[in-house]
């Protein structure tokens, strides 16, 4: 027999993307949930049990009677827990863009009641929750933070496309502005997080911990990317170099590649913002960002050494990582743009990216390869690419041809001598 939802708790999840939707569906197993998103098309899809992000593939997960998907915020007027999971990107100057978060806070302020808790899961820099968002809600609602409502911060840790680590088996860091609030959100998250929760002493601690998680990964990838650059200059195989180094027990096994998306390529700038506001000029984290942002240019410069303006180029992969549809902050798009701006004939194929989105965001018309190319660049390790036969791979190349295997996924394929190959 299914347990009845806790009648004392009614939750509104604001933002139903990669983070918000899985969270809302898990919470609906124990509580009444309003899943809100301003995107009406998205709401229609969810009400028809379709998740375009492919994070939720089992339609039965949408059958809970405890959840209501809506684009009308008034439907959540009776909610007393508000969880914000909206995107927090950076602008063209790589400064944190909090507009989505501020808009969500203003919306909540219209319906928030006394005794409510606002939980932020979006990435922010330390201080945002208490110094920016709480005052917005106070001003718009007329309520006082700490007296009439409370704030909490629990950073999302979802890794899109990851089949192993899902929301329920990733430990949850939680923080709040009072012990009572911390205990209450701990009760809520413990219901759905099998891995448990990790309480910290204050909201700024949790905000900082989130910022450094992805900054650390960004720096580690930047290191091996620079190793790849150095190896190319030394005319040695970087994959072999890294494989040899990895035989030592304490070597960190990171792989080179393009670093885009909405987390690793963004969060270091949030940490840098916090550092500067505190009077510290960050160096290492921004050096890592500089290296990773330069990778498309490095690959382009290596490729054109063996090409001319009549050469046909194919880029395999547009999404920011393997096996997802998300093309936000795509470094493959940046690479394509470098070829286009230099007058090269370049095409892009990605079996997962949406054609309309690619065209609207980057002006890229995705194609299905039907010709032979002088240069093929594999930028994303999609399963579809991993499964391609040697015969299919060879059919993509003109004679002579160049394979630039950024992710080194075709190293075991037998390719004819007229196809030269290098990988990062």
- Distance in angstroms (rounded) separating the CA atoms of residues 400 and 419: 6
What does each C-alpha distance from 392 to 410, 417, 418 come to in angstroms?
12, 16, 16
What does each C-alpha distance from 180 to 9, 14, 45, 149, 183 come to in angstroms?
15, 23, 38, 12, 5
Confidence of residue 161 (pLDDT cuts 50, 70, 90): low
Share of residues in the chain with pLDDT > 70 (%): 99
* Residue 422, pLDDT score: 86
Of the candidate CATH numbers 3.40.50.720, 3.90.25.10, 3.40.140.10, 3.30.70.100, the domain formed by 10-201 belongs to 3.40.50.720
CATH class of the domain defined by 202-293? mainly alpha
Would you say the C-alpha torsion 190, 192, 193, 194 has a positive or negative sign? Answer: positive
pTM score: 0.91
* Residue 158, pLDDT score: 80
Burial of 175 (0-12, 13-18, 19+ CB in 10 A): buried
- The number of beta carbons lying within 10 Å of the beta carbon of residue 141 is 21
If you average pLDDT over residues 148-177, what whole number do you get? 89
395 compared with 57, residue with greater pLDDT: 395
Which tens digit of pLDDT belongs to each residue from 63-102?
888 999 999 999 999 999 999 999 999 998 999 999 999 9
- What are the two backbone dihedrals, phi and then psi, of residue 203, each rounded to the nearest 5 degrees? -65, -40
- Distance in angstroms (rounded) separating the CA atoms of residues 274 and 210: 12
Nearest alpha-carbon partner for 268 in 288, 296, 238: 288
The yes-or-no verdict on residue 1 having pLDDT over 50 is: no
Could you tell me the fold of the domain covering 294-424? Answer: Rossmann fold (3.40.50)
The yes-or-no verdict on residue 163 having pLDDT over 70 is: no
- Distance in angstroms (rounded) separating the CA atoms of residues 177 and 204: 10
Q: How many residues does the chain have?
A: 424
* Residue 354, pLDDT score: 92
Burial of 148 (0-12, 13-18, 19+ CB in 10 A): middle
Residue 321 in 3-state DSSP? coil
Confidence of residue 6 (pLDDT cuts 50, 70, 90): confident
What does each C-alpha distance from 179 to 79, 174, 191, 347 come to in angstroms?
21, 11, 19, 56
If you average pLDDT over residues 107-136, what whole number do you get? 97
What does each C-alpha distance from 37 to 5, 43, 86, 355 come to in angstroms?
23, 7, 9, 23
The domain limits of the chain are 10-201, 202-293, 294-424
Same CATH fold, 294-424 and 202-293? no
Instruction: With residue 290 as reference, give the H or E element that holds it.
Output: helix 284-293
- Residue linked to tokens 């930028």: 379
Which tens digit of pLDDT belongs to each residue from 342-394?
999 999 999 999 999 999 999 999 999 999 999 999 999 999 999 999 999 99
Positions annotated as catalytic residues are: 263
């Amino acid at each position: 027999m299914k347990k009845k939802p806790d009648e004392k708790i009614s939750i509104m999840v604001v933002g139903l993307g990669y983070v918000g939707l899985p969270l809302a569906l898990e919470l609906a197993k124990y509580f009444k949930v309003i899943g809100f998103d301003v995107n009406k098309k998205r709401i229609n899809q969810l009400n028809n049990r379709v998740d375009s992000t492919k994070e939720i593939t089992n339609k039965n997960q949408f059958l809970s009677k405890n959840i209501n998907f809506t684009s009308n915020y008034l439907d959540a007027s009776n909610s007393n827990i508000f969880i914000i999971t909206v995107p927090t990107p950076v602008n063209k100057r790589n400064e944190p863009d909090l507009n989505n978060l501020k808009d969500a806070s203003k919306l909540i302020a219209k319906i928030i009641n006394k005794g409510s808790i606002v939980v932020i899961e979006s990435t922010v820099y330390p201080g945002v929750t208490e110094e920016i968002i709480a005052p917005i809600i106070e001003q718009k609602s007329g309520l006082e933070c700490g007296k009439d409502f409370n704030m909490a911060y629990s950073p999302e840790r979802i890794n899109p496309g990851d089949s192993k680590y899902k929301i329920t088996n990733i430990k949850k860091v939680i923080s709040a502005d009072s012990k009572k609030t911390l205990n209450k959100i701990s009760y809520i998250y413990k219901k759905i997080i099998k891995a448990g929760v990790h309480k910290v002493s204050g909201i700024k601690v949790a905000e900082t911990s989130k910022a450094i998680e992805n900054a650390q990964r960004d720096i580690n990838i930047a290191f091996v990317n620079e190793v790849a650059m150095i190896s190319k200059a030394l005319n040695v195989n970087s994959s072999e170099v890294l494989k040899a180094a990895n035989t030592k027990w304490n070597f960190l096994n990171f792989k080179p590649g393009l670093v885009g998306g909405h987390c690793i390529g963004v969060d270091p700038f949030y940490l840098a913002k916090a550092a500067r506001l505190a009077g510290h000029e960050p160096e290492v984290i921004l050096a890592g960002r500089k290296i990773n942002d330069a990778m498309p240019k490095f690959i382009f410069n290596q490729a054109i050494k063996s090409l001319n303006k009549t050469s046909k180029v194919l880029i395999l992969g547009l999404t920011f990582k393997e096996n997802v549809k998300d093309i936000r902050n795509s470094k493959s798009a940046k690479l394509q743009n470098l070829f286009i701006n230099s007058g090269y004939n370049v095409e892009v194929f990605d079996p997962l990216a949406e054609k309309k989105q690619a065209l609207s965001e980057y002006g890229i018309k995705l194609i299905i390869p039907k010709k032979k190319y002088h240069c093929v660049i594999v930028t994303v390790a999609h399963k579809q690419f991993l499964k391609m036969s040697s015969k299919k791979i060879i059919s993509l190349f003109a004679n002579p041809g160049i394979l630039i295997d950024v992710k080194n996924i075709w190293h075991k394929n037998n390719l004819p001598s007229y196809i030269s190959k290098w990988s990062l």
